[in-house]
Amino acid sequence: MPDLSVTLSGIKLDNPVIPASGTFGYGAEFKDFYDINILGSFSFKGTTKEPRFGNPTPRVAECVSGMINSVGLQNPGIDAVINEELPRIATYFKKPVIANIGGFSVDEFVYCAERLSVSEQVGIIEVNISCPNLHKGGVNFGSDPKAAAEVTAAVRKATNKPIYLKLSPNVESITEIAKACEDAGADGISLINTLLGMRIDIKTRKPVIANKMGGFSGRAIFPVALRMVYEVSKAVKIPIIGMGGVASAENVIEMMMAGASAVQVGAENLRNPYACKEIIEALPRVMAELKIDRLRDIVGVA
């Protein structure tokens, strides 16, 4: 039997397939489609200190081979996640989860990390530094190496959990940001977050999304994500969780060959709720065709 297991910062996963934050909620909806315990793990909805309604609607626009969203980190807030969502997750998911956190200041990232650190269910904290720094003109933390390092170092001091910094692709040098995070104490890197995109309704002559622009994701961005994972894997020594347009077992293997130790599936979950299940089931067949005995042996072979 082929060995699908991988390890992230000492945490063994049965396979490398992880639904991405924002595309899987807290797993409750998907558990009615299949037993989600077949997953390696899942990254739950991005969590902030206070509850957020999110951005104005409409928030979603369809594209060829993808979608644009501007949800705006809608979530119930850290208190509700700890007191309600995590206990609920424990009733149907028996593996460590990845806790995705967002923040609009360094202090907010630290607060969320500290609060989640006491949860045994949380295996990894994924720090989304694509959020705007409201104390420095609204520039994303992830677009500046110094700001990325500042968040990383502060969160590193606040928790004993492994921290993975989730990076935006909308930067001049993704490797410079990744190296800054590694130097500041990151245990791993998650990439890529969404590209920046836009749609216009030609009948109304107005942008489809209320915020005008949003995050472009889906199958169309896979080559860009793959290239960035490859570049970052050559620049850092810490593990990478690759994501961006992943939609098949072949995509998972390609992403791992580029340097990812595990792979997140995002927009494809919204198109097909069985996507992760189908990918996991297809992996042994594809591995056999490619004469791969252990998935972890192919990480970075390209």
Q: Which residues carry out catalysis?
A: 131
**Measuring CA to CA, which residue among 120, 125, 124 is closest to residue 94?**
120
Which of helix, strand or coil describes residue 79?
helix
Helices (H), 51-188: 78-80, 86-90, 106-116, 145-158, 174-183
b/e 216-249 (16+ beta carbons within 10 angstroms → b):
bbbbbbbeebbebbbbbbebbebbbbbbbbbbbb
Q: CA–CA separation, 144 vs 134, rounded Å?
A: 14
158 neighbors 214 (Cβ within 8 angstroms) = no
